[in-house]
Amino acid sequence: MFDLLKTDGSARRGRLRLPHGTVETPVFQPCGTYGSVKGMTPFDLHATGTQMLLGNTFHLMLRPGDRQIRDLGGLHEFMGWTGPILTDSGGFQVFSLGDLRKLNEEGVVFRSPVNGDKVELTPESSITVQANLGSDVVMVLDECTAHPATHKQADASMQLSLRWARRCRAAFNAGREESVNPDAKLFGIVQGGMYDDLRRVSLQGLQDIGFDGYAIGGLSVGESKEDMQRVMETLLPHMPEQRPRYLMGVGTPQDLVRGVALGVDMFDCVMPTRNGRNGYLFSHSGVVKIRNAQHKNSELPIDERCGCYTCQNFTRAYLHHLDRCGEMLGGMLMTQHNLYYYHNLMAQLREAIETGTFRTLARSLFNDWNNNDEFV
Amino acid sequence: MFDLLKTDGSARRGRLRLPHGTVETPVFQPCGTYGSVKGMTPFDLHATGTQMLLGNTFHLMLRPGDRQIRDLGGLHEFMGWTGPILTDSGGFQVFSLGDLRKLNEEGVVFRSPVNGDKVELTPESSITVQANLGSDVVMVLDECTAHPATHKQADASMQLSLRWARRCRAAFNAGREESVNPDAKLFGIVQGGMYDDLRRVSLQGLQDIGFDGYAIGGLSVGESKEDMQRVMETLLPHMPEQRPRYLMGVGTPQDLVRGVALGVDMFDCVMPTRNGRNGYLFSHSGVVKIRNAQHKNSELPIDERCGCYTCQNFTRAYLHHLDRCGEMLGGMLMTQHNLYYYHNLMAQLREAIETGTFRTLARSLFNDWNNNDEFV
């Protein structure tokens, strides 16, 4: 399901063949939390260059419920998105609930923030929910190791995640025929906190079970950029070459370039969409904060090098005005721009790998960005 | 600037030639209050069949300000809408402020609801603001007669509006060369409350001054459907045949058909957009309230006869879900549907007038709608 087409240093140009289509990697996946990328129609998503979406299991199992989505033909049919969808396991959001959830060997029990109901999430139920959603890439349920954590804590947490990964694999195999998407792929998630030795143990354990792809979890949790970089540098060379590698919940444009440089194939993050709605816009020379008074009369587009619908048709002055008036159109147009920016960045990186010019491109990108250090 | 192409009974099929394009009438104009039809890009507006927009002078003069819009090239350039724009005079919103405004012969003074500043709106300043916006159709400043009003009150109010109309005409002629849109047209507004004799006096007074088109103001202000119908039936036969007739702030799909039947050429109303955002959706068989639990599992589109993007791609169940989760996409998709419904209704009416089948179509539309009496 994964073809490694070309490498340039450690950077990889690949192709992911999934039931709902082929994805050119490295790829960035926008987040479609409740079965919608906020403010974007499927038409708009295609126009920005979106190949593949992430759906949130936690949100969708509560509203409208995975059984209902299954009855309506699965998440693709429900939201009108014909391309591939990856779903997370729901674990990350459950762990974010803090005191509202209770963990044991079996799984995790929590109170629904929607209606207060007691809900259980186990490795088996997470797989069932994702099968009901019909996602193309199913993620194992893992425990998100706290940060900071001692070596002992991180080890125990990682071992629990490994046991859960084994149960997920078994549940996935057993439930395949009843899934809305019987040809879905299952990815494992490497944990181990900031400890390189634990990361290696986790990866080996997951490979012993066997997965279609391997994700790096537990980063972008508040650690320093140096820690993140070191964990990736140490781990990635050991990850199986013929399987896709997915860095979860990351990140800034800089993070994406660094990740690709180290051999990551897939990313997801709420940053382009959430920041877009809040007027925090990416450009080749850094961030444009549209709320700043300096943009009130600006006839410039967000980024004069950008080919998106927003930059082709609207000025910063107009976006500033829409934002100030709380107009929906502001969030829509700024989200379109940010997603286009992210996807276009990935397209540039893919092309550079193909032509063996990745390092040159990365240097030039960082050079432009460094004019604006808020970006990093 | 107006060609009357065909009549069918009193219904008129016409063509309005304006600086930013030609408009086929009868036409419905969506409201773009703050320089944006809420939740709709210009691309989306074209896709729904929008020919011409209404912009709100009151809102735009306060935010971002008409001088700023002028400096940025006018409202068309500012909001990226290349088709014709009609602007109201700002009067209606000022009068809605109640105690916050003070009226005299000169004009009206009010406190800005945005920042509390004292702002003056006179016939002359309203024309200047609209010239700065660069609208294709400029409306005179009139006093919106209170409802209910005695004959004496309605007369005095109508006479004031006539004096203001004369000042508007003079200011418009004098300021034409400095306008962002020197070929703009100026419309008068017939007032007179629910009194047919006053309506006739108002119309004659306006014709004596001379305008490019004539609007009917002061309807849809809380009067009965019978009053509205009677005022229109009595007034419209006297309105000049070779000038466009614009019924302001109206209305439901039924109101549009009734208005066209009596010879109205232009309409505007917030109904399709506001109702769309609130899940109140128009269909050939009546209203669909998407929040009703009955739609939770419905695989039907809003209207199986509809050709809009929303109906072609999404179920009621999905829209119900988006609405329940407060997702922006819900408001966007439902607004698209409602506008498409309105514009498609107008297109059907235009075609029926051309083929001399207006009465047959109107009867069939009302027949279908009557299955759902909430619609009327």
In this predicted model, what pLDDT tens digit does every residue of B173-219 receive, in sequence order?
999 999 999 999 999 999 999 999 999 999 999 999 999 999 999 99
Put simply, the answer to whether B296 touches A39 (Cβ < 8 Å) is no
Interface test with B, best of A38, A291, A327 (most B CBs within 10 A): A327
Tell me the β-bridge partners of B110. Answer: B101, B119
Confirm or reject contact between A324 and chain B (CB < 8 A): yes
Residue B33 makes CB contacts below 8 A (sequence gap 6+) with B55, B56, B59
In this predicted model, what pLDDT tens digit does every residue of A302-341 receive, in sequence order?
999 999 999 999 999 999 999 999 999 999 999 999 999 9
Does residue B325 share a domain with residue B305?
yes
Q: Mean pLDDT in chain B?
A: 96
Confirm or reject contact between B376 and chain A (CB < 8 A): no
Does residue B313 share a domain with residue B172?
no
User: What does the pLDDT read at residue B370?
Assistant: 78
Does residue B265 share a domain with residue B303?
no
Confirm or reject contact between B65 and chain A (CB < 8 A): no
User: Two tokens at B156?
Assistant: 């005095």
**Digitized pLDDT (tens) for each residue of chain B, 376 residues in all:** 999 999 999 999 999 999 999 999 999 999 999 999 999 999 999 999 999 999 999 999 999 999 999 999 999 999 999 999 999 999 999 888 888 899 999 999 999 999 999 999 999 999 999 999 999 999 999 998 999 999 999 999 999 999 999 999 999 999 999 999 999 999 999 999 999 999 999 999 999 999 999 999 999 999 999 999 999 999 999 999 999 999 999 999 999 999 999 999 999 999 999 999 999 999 999 999 999 999 999 999 999 999 999 999 999 999 999 999 999 999 999 999 999 999 999 999 999 999 999 999 999 999 999 755 444 3
Q: Taking CB atoms and an 8 Å cutoff, what residues of chain A touch B37? A: 329
Does residue A313 share a domain with residue A179?
no
Does residue A359 share a domain with residue A214?
no
Report the C-alpha gap between A258 and A203 in whole angstroms: 21
Q: Taking CB atoms and an 8 Å cutoff, what residues of chain A touch B328? A: 36, 38-39, 328, 331-332
SS (H, E, C) A129-178: HHHHHCCCEEECCCCCCCCCCCHHHHHHHHHHHHHHHHHHHHHHHHHHHH
Does residue B301 share a domain with residue B227?
no
Q: Confidence band (pLDDT; 50, 70, 90) for A250?
A: very high
Does residue A224 share a domain with residue A155?
yes
The pTM score is 0.97
Does residue A303 share a domain with residue A222?
no
β-bridge pairing A213-216 and A245-247: parallel
Nearest-Cα distance to chain B for A295, in Å, is 12
Rounded to a whole number of angstroms, the distance between the first and last alpha carbons of chain B is 34
Nearest-Cα distance to chain B for A31, in Å, is 13
Does residue A225 share a domain with residue A263?
yes
**Residue closest to A162 by CA, chosen among A98, A217, A242:** A217
Domain span at B351: 278-375
Confirm or reject contact between B366 and chain A (CB < 8 A): no
The stretch A39-66 carries a mean pLDDT of 97
- Is A374 inside any structural domain? no
- CA–CA distances in Å: residue B283 to residues B28, B122, B176, B296, B311: 17, 42, 43, 18, 11
Does residue B309 share a domain with residue B256?
no
In this predicted model, what pLDDT tens digit does every residue of A115-153 receive, in sequence order?
999 999 999 999 999 999 999 999 999 998 999 999 999
Report the C-alpha gap between A151 and A156 in whole angstroms: 9
User: What does the pLDDT read at residue B100?
Assistant: 84
User: What does the pLDDT read at residue B52?
Assistant: 98
User: What does the pLDDT read at residue A372?
Assistant: 54
Q: Taking CB atoms and an 8 Å cutoff, what residues of chain B touch A296? A: 64, 68
Question: Cβ(A56)–Cβ(A31) under 8 Å?
Answer: yes
Tell me the β-bridge partners of B42. Answer: none
Put simply, the answer to whether B332 touches A68 (Cβ < 8 Å) is no
Q: Among B235, B269, B303, where does a domain finish?
A: B269
Cis amide bond preceding B301, omega within 30: no
Query: Which CATH number covers residue B29?
Result: 3.20.20.105
Q: Among B242, B269, B296, where does a domain finish?
A: B269
Q: Among A246, A269, A292, where does a domain finish?
A: A269
Q: Which of B158-164's residues contact partners 24+ apart within 8 Å by CB, and which partners?
A: B158/B191, B158/B192, B158/B193, B158/B198, B158/B201, B158/B202, B160/B105, B161/B189, B161/B191, B161/B202, B162/B202, B162/B205, B162/B206, B163/B105, B164/B107, B164/B123, B164/B140
Report the C-alpha gap between A173 and A242 in whole angstroms: 21
- Is A353 inside any structural domain? yes
- Is A146 inside any structural domain? yes
ipTM confidence: 0.97
In this predicted model, what pLDDT tens digit does every residue of A172-221 receive, in sequence order?
999 999 999 999 999 999 999 999 999 999 999 999 999 999 999 999 99
Put simply, the answer to whether A41 touches B321 (Cβ < 8 Å) is no
**Residue closest to A28 by CA, chosen among A309, A248, A228:** A248
Report the C-alpha gap between A44 and A29 in whole angstroms: 14
Report the C-alpha gap between A177 and B157 in whole angstroms: 75
Query: What is the 8-class DSSP label of residue A38?
Result: T
User: What does the pLDDT read at residue B30?
Assistant: 98
Query: What is the 8-class DSSP label of residue A44?
Result: H
Q: Confidence band (pLDDT; 50, 70, 90) for A371?
A: low
Q: What 3-state class would DSSP assign to A261?
A: helix
Q: How many domains does chain A have?
A: 2
φ and ψ at A52, to 5 degrees?
A: -155, 140
User: What does the pLDDT read at residue B376?
Assistant: 38
The stretch A58-69 carries a mean pLDDT of 97
Residue B147 makes CB contacts below 8 A (sequence gap 6+) with B193, B194, B218, B221, B222, B223
**Residue closest to B236 by CA, chosen among B26, B1, B48, B78:** B26
User: What does the pLDDT read at residue B95?
Assistant: 86
User: What does the pLDDT read at residue B371?
Assistant: 59
- Is A82 inside any structural domain? yes
Does residue A299 share a domain with residue A151?
no
In the A/B pair of chains, how many CB contacts fall below 8 A?
A: 109
Nearest-Cα distance to chain A for B168, in Å, is 29
Confirm or reject contact between A287 and chain B (CB < 8 A): no
User: What does the pLDDT read at residue B372?
Assistant: 54
Report the C-alpha gap between B230 and A125 in whole angstroms: 65
The stretch A335-364 carries a mean pLDDT of 98
Query: What is the 8-class DSSP label of residue B41?
Result: -
Does residue B263 share a domain with residue B177?
yes
Residue A98 CB coordination number (10 Å): 7
